[in-house]
Structure 1
Amino acid sequence: MKIDIKEMDEYLVKLLRTVGDNLVVDSAKDKSVDTKSSRIDLVTNFDKSTEKWLVGEIKKKYPDSTIVSEEGYGDVVNDMSGLVFFVDPIDGTMNFVKRRDDFASMIGVYLDGKPFLGAIIDVVKSEIYHGGPDYGIFRNEEEVTSPKNQSLPEGLVDISWPMVMADKFNSQAVVKKSSGLRIYGSAGIIFEHLIFGREVLYMSYLAPWDLAAGRVLCESLGLEVATIDDSPVNMLKSQVVIVGTKKVISEVLRTVKK
């Protein structure tokens, strides 16, 4: 399948620019808020309406694609053949509801199972991080260079708070070896920090739509994405994922296996 990368990248940026403009306004409105798996797993009417719009627009532009999406407006996808989009309408819904800050919207694109393009908008900052391995990575129009390959003691880490509280996978030992712990509550915001070297590690249980766009951006810039047991990443299931510099991934995998 031959795809015009530049055209698709520009299209993703256009979609997320519209989403970002709308969500800034929506964040100040009254919201219909429900819980999903637990009281800290929220969904709003704006998650649903945003996803429904994105899925509809993508289907109009790329009718032969399949779409994996958080709120159920996409397809049932059983394999990664062809063109597959991953849509996360509001990443960091708790932040969207409680703080009106530090939330994102994300679209990841995979072609025959391989990372192709990714786009993340930091809604409040109105910055879009986008691109892919064969195109380059950009913040709005400015090309992004690869972050320094720092070691664990040199950098800050972001690990999901339930994982740290329960000390799953020796996560507290990982924190103690680092320069400190930061928790933001949005994978999209953390991926932004990783590609600029503000943090050197992200470890969390991620659904496919949480990971897809960030994986494209991070791997394109020389960062690594690994599972907790170092098995191949499966983009069609939720899993514990480690994202970071090459030095950090090696250090953390040794630590979590102890």
Structure 2
Amino acid sequence: MDSNLRNEIYTKGLQWIKQAGENIRTKINNPLVVDTKSNPNDLVTTMDRETESFFVTKIKETYPEHAIVGEEGYGDKLSSMDGTVWVIDPIDGTMNFVHQKRNFAISVGIYQDGIGEIGFIYDVMSDILYHAKRNEGAYKDNVKLPSLKTDTNITEAIIAMNHFWLCPNKLVDEEVMQHFVRTIRGTRVYGSAALEFAFAAEGIINGYISMGLSPWDIAAGIIIFNEVGGVTTTIDGTPINMLEKNTILACNLVLQDEILSTVKEGRKSDAI
């Protein structure tokens, strides 16, 4: 992507995400219509839909040639990541939004031919913006985030991870994960993949593991995390497919080798 165009898109994206956040804060105590999607705990609200519609309208008015992937279905149906693609989660952490009125984020990742160019993760209620442009570093508001520490021992690591280990296809053996949890210093669950990526980029946690995230959950986070030296793969160590659901392992290279070997050893044991 041309640097002038990237700067222009960045400026527009920053403006829109701040506007969307202000709208959410203004209406945070208004009555909500809450529906469910794939299961009773997969929530969607009028605010999710309103926020995504806002972004889609702004993008299509300003950049009609750009494609959009959005959680609530207001975007395009894509078969490739060719061209400029905005990947949007209007409210990442909807359950937190509904029950807590905090600990949720707007997540916007902008890709050019499959390469992450710009990432925004906006912690709406705290008014904190994590953001990055490719090869220009990652920032928390106006403060540049340092590169990840590479001397972290697995026994000193704090890893964010959700609890969906007993998947239908048994992606990871439960006993292996129990051993893993006892090996590391601690685990955290924040209820928002975007914020968990942001916290990993900030260095206040050392990694993030999830057994099933959609592109809009991770698009911005991967871009921001890359800029501090983080790596994101599937739990198998393979590349992420930005058009489908993925298992996720995000950490630095040192921890990645140890975590991957633990998971693989568990699969091997489970197969015997």
2:134 and 2:156 map into 1 onto residues whose CA distance is: 27
Q: What do residues 126-165 of structure 1 show as CA deviations (whole Å, max 9, x unaligned)? A: 0111112233212222222212122322221111122279
- Going from structure 1 to structure 2, the CA distance change for 1:15 and 1:171 (only over 3 Å counts) comes to farther
1:75 and 1:118 map into 2 onto residues whose CA distance is: 19
Counterpart in the other structure of 2:2: 2
Q: What do residues 58-97 of structure 1 show as CA deviations (whole Å, max 9, x unaligned)? A: 1122211111110000001110111011010000000000
Counterpart in the other structure of 1:55: 56
RMSD, aligned α-carbons:
1.7
Gaps of 5+ in 2: 266-272
TM norm structure 2:
0.90
Counterpart in the other structure of 2:65: 64
Q: Contact conserved, 2:87 with 2:108, CA < 8 A, in 1?
A: yes
> Which shifted more, 93-102 or 128-137?
128-137
Larger gyration radius, structure 1 or structure 2: 2
2:57 and 2:125 map into 1 onto residues whose CA distance is: 24
Gaps of 5+ in 1: none
**Would you identify which runs of 4 or more consecutive aligned residues in structure 1 move more than 3 Å?**
164-168
Counterpart in the other structure of 2:238: 231
- What percent of counterpart residues are identical? 35
Q: Contact conserved, 1:101 with 1:124, CA < 8 A, in 2?
A: yes
Q: Contact conserved, 1:105 with 1:120, CA < 8 A, in 2?
A: yes
Q: What do residues 179-208 of structure 1 show as CA deviations (whole Å, max 9, x unaligned)? A: 111111001211121011111111111100
TM norm structure 1:
0.95
**Is 1:207 matched with 2:214?**
yes
Q: Contact conserved, 1:9 with 1:131, CA < 8 A, in 2?
A: no
Q: Contact conserved, 2:119 with 2:219, CA < 8 A, in 1?
A: yes
Q: What do residues 3-56 of structure 1 show as CA deviations (whole Å, max 9, x unaligned)? A: 522222222211111111111222211110011111111000110010011111
> Which shifted more, 85-94 or 138-147?
138-147
Paired amino acid for 1:21: E
Paired amino acid for 1:211: I
> For 1:17-36, what aligned pairs fall within 5 Å after superposition?
17-36=18-37
Q: Contact conserved, 1:109 with 1:213, CA < 8 A, in 2?
A: yes
- Going from structure 1 to structure 2, the CA distance change for 1:21 and 1:9 (only over 3 Å counts) comes to same
Number of aligned pairs? Answer: 258
**Is 1:197 matched with 2:198?**
no
Counterpart in the other structure of 2:163: 161
1:172 and 1:69 map into 2 onto residues whose CA distance is: 34
> Which shifted more, 126-135 or 219-228?
126-135
